[in-house]
Chains A and B, each alone.
Chain A
């Protein structure tokens, strides 16, 4: 099945800093999503982005499907951005949506 690797595994930044999170996947996908799990455990869908670029406020994402990676950009970080960011993908063969191990982001005030 598809393998999903996220990097870095951990990231500690000062409030106001920018960050780039990466997601590599091992096969072509027809579904790629980014999620934020907040410190209370809730999983929030950030982007549905199997290809192209999207922006939502301080967050943006780019997926280069032909090169099998996606990037999540967070600008002007706030403490509320802390948590774990997951990338999840599904291939063309079935509907399994597989998650990477996540990037744990800690924003210091």
Chain B
């Protein structure tokens, strides 16, 4: 168990809808990363937060947004969903990026299916 909790595990929704994915980082970790993994693809970096502030952004669509709350949990909001948004969404946490020996720990992911 990595200590990173993602909910829900599975989500099935229709095109045009909006969903929220939730992530609770490991105890003591201040930074949260979000990744998208489409079928048989690698992990695409979406966005990163550190102690409540956005620190780095990848190729995240304008329809997607995220935030990290004061209790350090994070939410990824996906709106106007399209079939191509179907994927596994991972959250990962770490103590402080760039510090020596600060490994990334992943949650088990949320599998989103858009029909």
Contact = CB atoms under 8 A, between A and B. Distances in A.
A45 B104 contact: yes
A41 B97 contact: no
Q: What class of interface size applies to chain A in its complex with B?
A: 20 to 34
Nearest to A92: B98
Interface of B: 2, 31, 33, 35, 41-45, 48, 50, 55-56, 58, 88, 90, 92, 97-98, 101-106, 108-109
A90 B98 contact: yes
7 contacts: A44-B106, A48-B102, A88-B43, A95-B50, A95-B56, A97-B33, A97-B48
Contacts, number: 59
Contacts of B109: 41
Q: Sorted from nearest, which 5 A-B pairs have the closest CB atoms?
A: A95-B97, A43-B106, A48-B103, A99-B43, A101-B42
Contact of A48 (B43, B50, B101): B101
A48 B2 CA distance: 15
Among A33, A43, A88, max chain B CB count under 10 A is at A43
A88 to B, nearest CB: 7
Contact of B104 (A30, A33, A94, A102): A33
A84 B96 CA distance: 26
Interface string A82-96: 000010101000111
Contacts of B104: 33, 35, 45, 88, 97
Interface in A61-102: 86, 88, 90, 94-102
